[in-house]
A and B are shown apart, each in its own frame.
Chain A
């Protein structure tokens, strides 16, 4: 049994893919492309992959727009772990956390959109204080393409 199999909690697993980039708008495209490659490698169906990429785009956009409002961009971390037929994704930053922001430039649709696309969403903090958006996506048999 590998460490990524069912008995290990998602948060304790070694991710199959980890990305760390500056929280800049142009870097969101890199994350999207990385997940495109992940989806192809795992044979994820087109609609499911589209949902995954959209949800992750929203989570990363939240990091770019909200996590580091006062200056130079900080780190944006994205981790993905495959667990049986489920993909667990964590988007992390080291900003002040998810708090109401009256001057927000966004429409406030990001998190509801993520919630509608993902099987589950959790917002929280890691032990080191990093803000985390944890998402899971089902990769059921009917969403996997025959490779």
Chain B
């Protein structure tokens, strides 16, 4: 009897012999009504995607901080009572898009993440932060590659 071999990061190869793109599972689109669901569901989905992407614990913690910040402030800037999130696991990171924001909502959301004495949570934690030209979509990138500092949150 042989012990089961642990799955390699990203899963086993497909029967065709190539590495399956299932290692990331593809993007996850999530649309949530403002209200009690917003925070818990976003955090769960993001944590699942990160866990599957073999994200280290310190960056998982950072990502939860980002999710908490978004769920606390983003609903105030939604366009229609809902927010659209797209969570995509990359090879060494995560991209999180926050859409369906009101006009100029993305900039206001970033502004709201400013904590006195601490700084802007989103700007400090995310490696990439950009606002799409429409002003209604915010894109955050979190890296956890080999070059990522271990104490990124300071």
Binding site for B on A (CB under 8 A): 14-22, 24-27, 29-30, 33-34, 36-38, 40-42, 73
Interface of chain A: mostly helix, strand, loop or mixed: helix
Residues of B within 8 A of A14 (CB): 33, 81-82
Interface of chain B: mostly helix, strand, loop or mixed: mixed
* Per-residue contact bits, chain B 65-92, to A (CB 8 Å; 1 contact, 0 not): 0000000000000000110000000000
Residues of B within 8 A of A73 (CB): 26
Residues of A within 8 A of B60 (CB): none
Number of A-B contacts (CB under 8 A): 76
Q: How many residues of B contact A (CB 8 A)?
A: 25
Residues of B within 8 A of A38 (CB): 37, 40-41
CB of B45 within 8 A of CB of A33, answer yes
Binding site for A on B (CB under 8 A): 11, 22, 25-33, 35-37, 40-41, 43-45, 47-49, 52, 81-82
Query: How near does chain A come to B53, taking the closest CB pair, in angstroms?
Result: 11
Q: Which of the residues B25, B33, B44, B81 comes within 8 Å of A24, measured between beta carbons?
A: B25
Given A17-B31, A30-B49, 12 other A-B residues pairs in contact with their CB atoms under 8 A: A16-B35, A17-B30, A18-B30, A18-B32, A19-B45, A22-B26, A27-B25, A29-B48, A33-B45, A37-B37, A38-B37, A42-B37
10 CB-based A-B contacts, threshold 8 Å: A14-B81, A16-B37, A18-B30, A18-B32, A20-B29, A20-B30, A21-B25, A24-B26, A27-B26, A41-B41
Query: How near does chain B come to A34, taking the closest CB pair, in angstroms?
Result: 5
Please give me the residue from chain A that is nearest to B41 by CB atom.
Answer: A37
How far apart are the CA atoms of A37 and B35 in the complex, in Å?
13
Query: How near does chain B come to A109, taking the closest CB pair, in angstroms?
Result: 25
